[in-house]
A = this chain, B = another copy of it.
């Protein structure tokens, strides 16, 4: 069996979990990792997430598949340096935004590239956060596939299907609007919720009463600020649109409580319950 060399730029939750998932599907993968955080490199080696650490992007260019599992601004920076790739090399980014990334990929490697967004994650980061089954039964969005090479499209689809993911294809522009509503704006809410409670005078005794609802809603407020700063920057207009849409619903709720329109409030909550039929 010939060895398939897989490179990871970024040895955090996403890259680390992907290594675990891929290893389960085949013994023929050989994993090479690159991360500017030396501690993460050592941890990834120790945890067996990679077979080898390299210190240069150049060394990764020999790989059959290269994953860019780093924050979205970093993805754009790295793609500018990924020149002179073999025609069969497949580069897959796992960023949470897609439009700016898709636009910034140098023409000469555009066919090598597949823009992907696995709709999964946790609030944790670093190789120690890597999880078994992070990708199983989750959706991965593949964007602007018409701009990828047919070989690269095939490699990416086989790979994501192999680790149990459900593939959804759409344009990068559409993806970014969807992601703003389903992921980016909810992160803004969670950060705002955590801050609004922690700024109360009695915050500690309030938080001591936290049940499952608050824990679930504030979980992603623990996510990495540097990662999310990049996402909010790259998806600014969609995020603002989604926050506006949310605010208008919350204002409705506020007005109904203020004006004691209980029947209308009940109907509004019943509308929200319909999510149950979809999700």
Take A214-B186, A225-B270 as given contacts and tell me if A243 and B249 are in contact as well, using a CB distance cutoff of 8 Å. Answer: no
Shortest CB-to-CB span from A7 to chain B, Å, is: 25
B213 and A274 contact, CB distance less than 8 A? no
A246–B221 CA distance with the chains assembled, in angstroms: 14
Which residues on B sit within 8 Å (CB–CB) of A269?
191, 221, 223, 225, 228-229
Which residues on B sit within 8 Å (CB–CB) of A276?
222
Which of chain A's residues 190-237 have a Cβ closer than 8 Å to chain B?
A: 190-200, 202-223, 225-226, 228-229, 232-233, 236
A271 and B195 contact, CB distance less than 8 A? yes
The complex is assembled from copies of this chain, and their number is: 2
B262 and A229 contact, CB distance less than 8 A? yes
Which of chain A's residues 156-201 have a Cβ closer than 8 Å to chain B?
A: 168, 170, 174, 177-179, 181-183, 186-200
**A122 lies within 8 A of chain B by Cβ:** yes
0 or 1 for each of A247-279: is its CB under 8 Å from B? (1 = yes): 111101110011010100111111111111011
Describe A's contact surface by its main secondary structure: helix
Of all chain B residues, the one with the shortest Cβ separation from A200 is: B181
A199–B209 CA distance with the chains assembled, in angstroms: 33
| A120, A181, A196: most-surrounded residue (chain B CB, <10 A) | A196
**A41 lies within 8 A of chain B by Cβ:** no
**A128 lies within 8 A of chain B by Cβ:** no
Which residues on B sit within 8 Å (CB–CB) of A267?
225
25 A/B residue pairs, CB under 8 Å, sorted by A: A120-B211, A121-B213, A168-B208, A168-B209, A178-B202, A179-B209, A181-B206, A183-B209, A183-B213, A188-B250, A188-B257, A189-B193, A190-B272, A191-B253, A191-B269, A192-B272, A195-B268, A213-B220, A221-B273, A225-B269, A225-B270, A225-B273, A226-B266, A243-B250, A246-B250
Q: Which residues of A are interface residues toward B (Cβ below 8 A)? A: 119-122, 138-139, 141, 168, 170, 174, 177-179, 181-183, 186-200, 202-223, 225-226, 228-229, 232-233, 236, 239-240, 242-243, 245-250, 252-254, 257-258, 260, 262, 265-276, 278-279
